[in-house]
Amino acid sequence: MIRRAVNWTKQHWKLALGLVFSLAVIGIVVFVVGVTVWEYTNSTQFCGTTCHTMPPEFAAYERSPHARVACVDCHLGQESVLQAIPRKAKEIRHVYYALTQDYEIPIYIKSLRPARDTCEKCHSPEKSASDSFRKITTFVDDQDNTPRYTYLNLKTGGGAKREGLGKGIHWHIVSEVDYLANDPLRQDIPYVKVVNDDGTVTEYYDLESNITPEQVAARSDEVRRMDCIDCHNRVSHTFSSPEAAIDDAMSRRLIDDSLPFIKTMGAEAISGHTGSREEALTSIARVEDWYKENYPDVYATKQASVKQAVTELQKIFDDMYFPDMGVGWSVHPNNIGHKDFPGCFRCHDGKHVSKDGQTIRMECNICHSIPRQGGPGLPTPTIAVEPSNEPESHKDSNWLARHRTEFDESCAGCHSTFNAGGSDNTSFCSNGACHGVKWKYAGLDAPGLRAVLPQTPATEPTPAPEKPEGSVIPYIPHPLSADRVGQCRNCHGPGGLKPYPEWHKDFPVEACTDCHKVAPSVQASAAPTP
C-alpha cells in the first residue's frame, strides 16, 4: 500500500495555529475565571454576606479580635491549594442546604478542624505569655449605676515544659488532657483524664454524673484531646450578655451613666424578646417614654443623652439578637470564664474527683489572682503579685470546698476577716468579686462531695474567762474603720506589738469593738469641720 504524504500548506498551518491559540485563550480565561471564583468564594465578604444564614456569625466576627483573619484560614486551614480544593469541595453541601433551606436553626458547626491545624499556625503553644493585668468595669443595678472595678492578674502562661515553663492557663494545651462530653456543645463533661509529668495517669469523674469506668471505656472513641477551641470556642464569634454589653457601652461613655437606673432599664429592655426585630426595637424605644414619665427633670436636661442611650441599646440588641435565625446571646455558650456559662467550671467545679479523693482544683488563684473590687466608697484594692505564707491546708485540692466550714480565728493571721462571707469589700473575707456573685455552675454543693472531704471533728467552743474584777476597758487610741476591725491581731494578740491580756485569747476578733470604743478625743478630731 502506498502511503499518501500529507502536504502542509499555509492554510493548514494557519488552522493549526489558530486552534492552539484558541485553546490557549480558553485555558487562560478558564484559569482567570477559576482563580477569581476561588478567591471570591474564599473571601470574608462571600462567607459572611452571600449566605443568608450567616448574619449572626458575620456580625459577631466583625467585632472580634480575628476580624482581619479570613474565614477560610480557620474553617479550612492554611493549606496548599491542592489540599484545600478537595476539602472545600466537601463544603458544597452547604450551598445545597442553603438553597433548599434544609437546616435547623440555630445553626451549630459540626466539622471544625482541630486547633493544631488552624489556630496553631499563628499561635504557638510553645510560646509562654507573661501575666497580664485586667480591669473589668461593671455597674450596679441601682439608681446611681454605681461603678465597680474588678482587678486581677491573668496567669496566661504556657511554653515548653522542657524549658521549665508549661504553667498557667495554657498548661491545658502543653499537657495531655483528655475528656468525655455528654453533649455536642461540650458543656457537660463527666470524665477527665490527665497524663502527669512522670507518666502516671489521673482520672477524674463527676460525682453527679454517676458515670463508671466501664461506660467511659465503651465510649472511648468519643474521648477528645483538649485544645485551644475547648476554651476559645467563641473567640471569633462572640455574643455578649445584655449586662456585659451595657457595662461596656457605659464604660466607654456611649451610654450616659448619670441617667438614673439606665443599667437596669437597658438590660430589661433588651432581654427576653421573642417577637420580631421591629417589635423589639419599638419596645427599647419606650425607655425614652419611661424617663419622660418618671424623671421629667432628668429628661428635660439630658434629652440628648436619653436618645443616644436608646440608640445604643437598639444597636446592642442588633448585635446579639437575630430572631429570624433563632440566635440570641445565650444560644452559643462561651467557654471563657465561668459566670454566664459553665466555661472553666465544666471541669474545675470542685466535684470532679479521682479515686484517691483528689479533686480538679477550682481555686481562683490557679488561673488568675484573687479578684479584688474597687469603686466609690470602697477601700483601695490590693493585689498580691505572689501568694505568700500559704499554709499546707490551702494546697489541698478540696480547699475551696472546705474553707466554708473550716473558718476560725486563725484566718486572721493572714487575712482581714471582718464581715467574713459578706460582699461589701471591707476585708479580704468579704470580697464582693467572690461572695457577691451567684456561681450557679460551681459544684461545691454536690451531695456526694461531703463524703469525699475530710471530716473535721466538731468541737465545743471554750467559754471565755470572765473579766477580772476591777479591770478597766481601755479606749482605742486611733481612728478605726470597719475594714480594720478584722486586723486587730496584726498589732495585738500573742507576739503582737501590744499583746492583749491572756484572758482575751478565746475572744473572736470581731468582738473587739463590743467592749473597746474609739477614744472621744479621736472621734472629735476625726469629725468634719463645720
Report the alpha-carbon distance of residue 45 to residue 57 in Å, rounded: 12
Query: Cβ contacts of residue 158 below 8 Å, gap of 6+?
Result: 125, 126, 127, 128, 129, 165, 166, 167, 168, 169, 170, 171, 173, 174
Mean pLDDT over 118-140 rounds to: 87
Cell numbers that stand for 291 in this block: 424617663
Does residue 39 register a pLDDT over 80?
Answer: yes
Q: Of 307-311, 321-325, 493-497, give the range with the top mean pLDDT.
A: 307-311
Strand, helix or coil for residue 23: helix
Nearest to 372 by CA among 306, 309, 429, 414: 429
Report the alpha-carbon distance of residue 320 to residue 313 in Å, rounded: 11
Report the alpha-carbon distance of residue 72 to residue 43 in Å, rounded: 8
Report the alpha-carbon distance of residue 366 to residue 146 in Å, rounded: 30
Cell numbers that stand for 192 in this block: 477527665
Other CB atoms within 10 Å distance of the CB of residue 488:
23
pLDDT of residue 159: 79
Residues forming a β-bridge with 136: 150
- pLDDT, tens digit, for every residue of 182-237? 999 999 999 999 999 889 999 999 999 989 999 999 999 999 999 999 999 998 98
Report the alpha-carbon distance of residue 326 to residue 375 in Å, rounded: 38
Name residue 503's amino acid. W
Sheet arrangement for strand 132-139: 132-139, 147-154, 372-374
pLDDT of residue 461: 47
pLDDT of residue 459: 47
pLDDT of residue 523: 65
Q: In the chain, pLDDT over 70 holds for what percent of residues?
A: 87
Report the alpha-carbon distance of residue 490 to residue 486 in Å, rounded: 9
Cell 491549594, located at residue: 81
pLDDT of residue 211: 94
Cell numbers that stand for 355 in this block: 479515686
Cis peptide before 190 (omega within 30 of 0): no
Cell numbers that stand for 338 in this block: 465561668
More confident residue, 20 or 144: 144
Report the alpha-carbon distance of residue 270 to residue 311 in Å, rounded: 12
Comparing 4-8, 258-262, 350-354, the range with the smallest average pLDDT is 4-8
Structural domains in the chain plus CATH codes: 17-120 (1.10.3820.10), 242-325 (no CATH)
Cell 436608646, located at residue: 310
Does residue 528 register a pLDDT over 90?
Answer: no
Name residue 181's amino acid. A
Strands 147-154 and 372-374: antiparallel
More confident residue, 144 or 463: 144
Query: Cβ contacts of residue 518 below 8 Å, gap of 6+?
Result: 475, 476, 478, 479, 480
More confident residue, 265 or 494: 265
- pLDDT, tens digit, for every residue of 73-117? 888 877 777 777 777 777 777 777 777 777 788 888 877 788 888
Q: Contact, 500 vs 408, CB < 8 A?
A: no
